[in-house]
Amino acid sequence: MANVVDLIGRIFISALFLISAYNKVFNLEGSMGWMEGFGIPGFFIFPAIAVEIILPVLVIVGYQARIAAGILAVFCLMTAFLFHFDFADQSQLISFLKNIGLAGGFLFIVANGTKDWAVDREKKYVRL
């Protein structure tokens, strides 16, 4: 049962990034303009899209999940403080807290790793 919950949790925490990357790809001009509105050069959308596709997939399949989750935790904190720091706007406060919560979830993966349903699972050898 713990393996199922672990996998579902990794899928849930990663799904947001995959959907966000999809939206950025199909609204590239708007996403670049939004970033530029915060003083971030628009070309940084391309590494952001790569991070939002590659690292969540690594977390889901459990390959180098601790490293991927650590990078995603930093990514969440950076986006929270760069793009969602206007607490006068209720939706920005919610987005800020969502990113902080996601960072906490990724730090859980960093601390605990994944269960058996992962590419990097530890092989259990039985001595005969």
The answer to whether residue 86 sits within a structural domain is yes
pLDDT at residue number 127: 72
- The 10s digit of each residue's pLDDT in 85-101 is 999 999 999 999 999 99
The answer to whether residue 127 sits within a structural domain is no
pLDDT at residue number 126: 66
The answer to whether residue 104 sits within a structural domain is yes
- The 10s digit of each residue's pLDDT in 6-58 is 999 999 999 999 999 999 999 999 999 999 999 999 999 999 999 999 999 99
The answer to whether residue 78 sits within a structural domain is yes
Look up the domain containing 31 and give its range: 2-112
Instruction: Return d(Cα 104, Cα 41) in angstroms, integer.
Output: 28
The answer to whether residue 73 sits within a structural domain is yes
pLDDT at position 124 over 70: no
Q: Is 39 helix (H, G, I), strand (E, B) or coil?
A: coil
Instruction: Return d(Cα 24, Cα 118) in angstroms, integer.
Output: 28
Domain count, the chain: 1
The answer to whether residue 117 sits within a structural domain is no
Q: Which residue has the tokens 């596709």?
A: 53
pLDDT at residue number 47: 97
pLDDT at residue number 101: 97
pLDDT-based confidence at residue 121 (cuts at 50, 70, 90): confident
The answer to whether residue 27 sits within a structural domain is yes
The answer to whether residue 126 sits within a structural domain is no
pLDDT-based confidence at residue 120 (cuts at 50, 70, 90): confident
**Mean pLDDT, range 68-95, rounded to an integer:** 97
**DSSP characters for 85-111?**
--TTSHHHHHHHHHHHHHHHHHHHHHH
